[in-house]
Amino acid sequence: MKKTLQILNELVVTGIINEYAIAGGMAHFYYIEPSVTYDLDLIVNLPVDENSLTPLTNLYEWANKNNFQLDHEHIIIGGIPVQFIPAYNDLVKEALNNKIEITLFEEKTFILGAEYLMAIMLNTGRSIDNERLIRFINEAVFEEDRFNSIIDKYGLTEKYNNFKKRING
């Protein structure tokens, strides 16, 4: 993982990506007990035209040029499948803008805040996200007022209330 983080930080320095933050299952490790995950999901801001139909082109060209193996949508970096996900809506863009700097394996890196991860899980609503959201509510340290403010801003309060009704019976 250390090598992966070093290369990700090099991608920022060289301008292949503008910024990134760890999301998905790997980000959850930082806040709750680990669960199974296959890859490292990154939310990224890329130096491309927002209207581009192929925003990851420069990144995949870099991977090919530098002999990084591709596995479907993943680039294998330091032995870890990494999925680069452009910030795809206003919630995710705000989450990236409010990323948290942390140190992992003696490397500076960035992660989405717990409240934003929870709001994204709620918004996405996949079964795995619902399971993880329950775990976050029960296990993670987060600022409830901040979370409520975020879900209110993005029109997710009713969805959250319905979610709580389902899990509480």
pLDDT by residue for the chain (169 residues), tens digit each? 899 999 999 999 999 999 999 998 889 888 987 776 778 999 999 987 665 667 888 899 999 999 999 999 999 999 999 999 999 999 999 999 999 999 999 999 999 999 999 999 999 999 989 999 999 999 999 999 999 999 999 999 999 999 999 988 7
Tell how far CA 30 is from the center of its chain.
12
Question: What does the pLDDT read at residue 52?
Answer: 67
| CATH architecture for segment(s) 2-113 | 2-Layer Sandwich (3.30)
| Burial class of residue 50 (count of CB atoms within 10 Å of its CB; 0-12, 13-18, 19+) | exposed
Separation between Cα atoms, residue 46 and residue 62, nearest integer Å = 13
Task: Report pLDDT digits (tens) over 39-88.
Answer: 899 999 998 766 566 788 889 999 999 999 999 999 999 999 999 999 99
Q: Which residue has the tokens 């680039």?
A: 75
Residue type, 38: Y
Question: What does the pLDDT read at residue 50?
Answer: 60
Question: What does the pLDDT read at residue 154?
Answer: 98
Question: What does the pLDDT read at residue 156?
Answer: 98
In this prediction the pTM is: 0.92
Strand 19-23, strand 80-86: pairing: unpaired
Question: What does the pLDDT read at residue 98?
Answer: 98
What residues does each domain of the chain span? 2-113, 116-168
Residue type, 39: D
Minimal CA–CA distance to 50: which of 88, 11, 23, 14?
Answer: 88
